[in-house]
Amino acid sequence: MKRYGIIMAGGSGTRFWPLSRRKMPKQFLNVTGKDAMVNETIDRLFPVIEKEDIFIVTGKDQAELTDRTVNGRLSKSHILAEPAARNTAACVGYAAMELIRKYGDGIMGIFSSDHYIKDEAGFRAVLERAVEEAEKSDSLVTIGIKPYFPATGYGYIKRKDAESLEVEEFVEKPDQETAEKYLESGNYLWNSGMFVWKASVILKQFEKLLPDIYGYLMEIGESMGTEKERDTIEAVYPKIPKISIDYGIMERAENVLVLEGDFGWNDVGSLDAIEILHETDENGNVICGESVSLDAKNCISFGTDKLIALLGVSNLIVAETKDTVLVCEKSRAQDVKKIVERLEADGKEQYL
Amino acid sequence: MKRYGIIMAGGSGTRFWPLSRRKMPKQFLNVTGKDAMVNETIDRLFPVIEKEDIFIVTGKDQAELTDRTVNGRLSKSHILAEPAARNTAACVGYAAMELIRKYGDGIMGIFSSDHYIKDEAGFRAVLERAVEEAEKSDSLVTIGIKPYFPATGYGYIKRKDAESLEVEEFVEKPDQETAEKYLESGNYLWNSGMFVWKASVILKQFEKLLPDIYGYLMEIGESMGTEKERDTIEAVYPKIPKISIDYGIMERAENVLVLEGDFGWNDVGSLDAIEILHETDENGNVICGESVSLDAKNCISFGTDKLIALLGVSNLIVAETKDTVLVCEKSRAQDVKKIVERLEADGKEQYL
């Protein structure tokens, strides 16, 4: 069966500020020093999914930037522009409809555009299994990540037992104590937001579980290939209720399977994750860009055009961009979004 | 008697990096947010000394920059360019000879170009007294600063007692214990490097105590006003032994008086001094330039063209210039010179 890759690139994460900006979300940044995250996401799917069968769904304001960033990896027709951000259910449904109407049914794998995977071969092995599972059954297959610490920042997927693919339930982000129990039990995996299913199967789920959204998707689907396609999308898409695919379908569907992935996944959710993407020096520092340091320990220094000098400092994140410098205690990386809120409140739009 | 101001602006301090640079020493920086330090130095002398009677001695590489910075405050002929840096005795001797030969004997006050004085009226009152003392006697008058903490970074001047102007001795930078004794005794003042004397008197001291330097100065003096002046200075000046006026004359002369100054003097010796020149906010931060902060305490943030964001950090100095960002633990400000040495060793001349 045909295999498609759907990369969701509509995010505008503020927790990666100042590296990410409204006009330059994280997925377009080169955080690893190799390539833009979205390009790394595309490239790591091959050969499980061929490049010409990959699609990116993004906001229409970012379609241009997406095209420029992927730089010929995908044809323009494979960049699906959402007129408005309507959360992940809309995004997945739109992509499924696009496939069914224009390219024919097939397995579709859904991926975030801004996550990191260290062991790409390991990832592809699990993905291949997921594709095969989705092909042989009409299941909704998800790849859960084997937890290695009691994370409170992720949702979890509970499987029946460690040998089973059968999902018992999706659970919300836990508190510390609960996260520790999850880790100990061995039956819980992190919800990474990677899904694999047939386009026709997920559309059936929309019809069953999200009939209102299904109605809008059908309206869009019927316009596809006609002159009215763009106008219809522009008119209908913004009406789609904002709901996540997790909440709208995964948590409620019955035929959900989970495969365990253990391939060095990270959602690069805040600046401290830079540490995971790079080698540290003998003092525990990660240094990107021109730098000099003396008695600096466990710092992350991410420079663009200036020399960054660190003297006698520890556990800091220093991030320099064309118009900003952030200096942040590493344990406070999550609170970068509060700085963004402050800038917004102060009307300093130019820095957002 | 005529009064002259001699401002020594030959310094190239590295402890103020990255704000100061080889081509932009501290005296040319606007550190207070008001004006370049050298201009503040000029302006605060008036009306004790008239602007047209002020001279700046600087390195010939910096004569242009000096002229540009003072921007008409002084005529070009009052910028005395040293062909080579030969320490302060040479500098003072050269200025004294210039005065005697071209302008006539008078009281000359010697000032550093890169020190800060908070209470300018208080300073002028002491300076006026110093001028009067130098005028009525042939003494070497120095202004000592009343210590308010046991500083180990300054030399001290011991006076006979707290009521006396008579200097007993100049002493080197003390260790902590000794500094505490000095502070307690009340007889010790910080050596600020401000001196007031007649040009003729200091030249007589050169003749007596530094006869070799006096010989070179006479050779230069004889060329003054002739066609050979510049060539003679170029040839002779670099031969003058490098010795400080303190060590060469003040510590050895007999007719030395000291006046106590208590006017908020600071030598702005390292970046942490910025704190003294500016108001702190309610969290103890000094913020210069565009900035946003959250849970930042007791930091100094000195930005030029970028927004500096501080998140959850304490006791840091962040200094941003056109090509560098320094992030430094405040207590390590003195060690900035080690960063400069490291850059020098690494051949990164462009950042020096």
**Among candidate residues B10, B15, B12, the one with its CA nearest the CA of residue B340:** B15
**Is A303 in contact with B309 (Cβ distance < 8 A)?**
no
**Is A329 in contact with B343 (Cβ distance < 8 A)?**
no
What is the nearest CA distance from A329 to chain B, expressed in angstroms? 5
**Is B332 in contact with A295 (Cβ distance < 8 A)?**
yes
Say if A306 is an interface residue toward chain B (CB within 8 Å): yes
The distance of Cα A318 from the centroid of its chain, to the nearest Å, equals 24
Taking every pair of Cα atoms in chain A, the longest distance, rounded to a whole number of angstroms, is: 65
For A293, name the nearest residue in chain B, comparing CA atoms only: B339
- Across chain B, mean pLDDT equals 96
Mean pLDDT by 10 residues, chain B (352 residues): 96 87 94 95 97 97 96 96 96 98 98 97 98 96 97 95 93 96 96 97 98 98 96 98 96 95 95 94 96 97 96 98 97 96 95 95
For B322, name the nearest residue in chain A, comparing CA atoms only: A306
Q: B-chain residues within 8 Å CB-CB of A336?
A: 311
Residues B66-94 pLDDT 10s: 999 999 999 999 999 999 999 999 999 99
What is the nearest CA distance from A47 to chain B, expressed in angstroms? 43
Size of chain A in residues? 352
Q: B-chain residues within 8 Å CB-CB of A331?
A: 312
Tokens of A130: 């997921």
**Is B331 in contact with A312 (Cβ distance < 8 A)?**
yes
Decide: residue A163, CB within 10 A, 0-12 exposed, 13-18 middle, 19+ buried.
exposed
Contacts 24+ apart (CB under 8 A), B336-341: B336/A311, B336/B14, B336/B15, B336/B16, B336/B17, B336/B270, B336/B271, B337/B14, B337/B15, B337/B17, B338/A294, B338/A311, B339/A292, B339/A294, B339/A309, B339/A311, B339/B17, B340/B14, B340/B17, B341/B14
Placement of tokens 């009691």 in the chain = A150
Say whether B128 sits in a helix, a strand or coil. helix
Contact B67, B28 (CB under 8 A): no
Residues B145-179 pLDDT 10s: 999 999 999 999 999 998 999 999 999 999 999 99
Q: How far apart are CA A266 and CA A112, in angstroms?
A: 11
Query: Which among A308, A329, A348 is the nearest to B311, CB-wise?
Result: A329
Geometric angle at alpha carbon B303, from B299 and B308, rounded to 5°? 70
Q: How far apart are CA A220 and CA A233, in angstroms?
A: 6
Residues 6+ apart with CB under 8 A from B286: B274, B275, B278, B279, B280, B299, B300, B301
pLDDT of the residue at B14: 81
CB count in 10 Å sphere of residue B14 = 21
**Whole-angstrom Cα Rg for chain A:** 21
Say if B68 is an interface residue toward chain A (CB within 8 Å): no
Residues B300-312 pLDDT 10s: 999 999 999 999 9
The distance of Cα A256 from the centroid of its chain, to the nearest Å, equals 20
Residues A207-218 pLDDT 10s: 999 999 999 999
**Among candidate residues B296, B326, B333, the one with its CA nearest the CA of residue B314:** B296
For B300, name the nearest residue in chain A, comparing CA atoms only: A327
What is the nearest CA distance from A299 to chain B, expressed in angstroms? 11
Q: Which helix (H) or strand (E) holds B87?
A: helix B87-98
For A338, name the nearest residue in chain B, comparing CA atoms only: B294
Q: How far apart are CA B272 and CA A169, in angstroms?
A: 56
For B299, name the nearest residue in chain A, comparing CA atoms only: A327
pLDDT of the residue at A11: 78
Say if B295 is an interface residue toward chain A (CB within 8 Å): yes
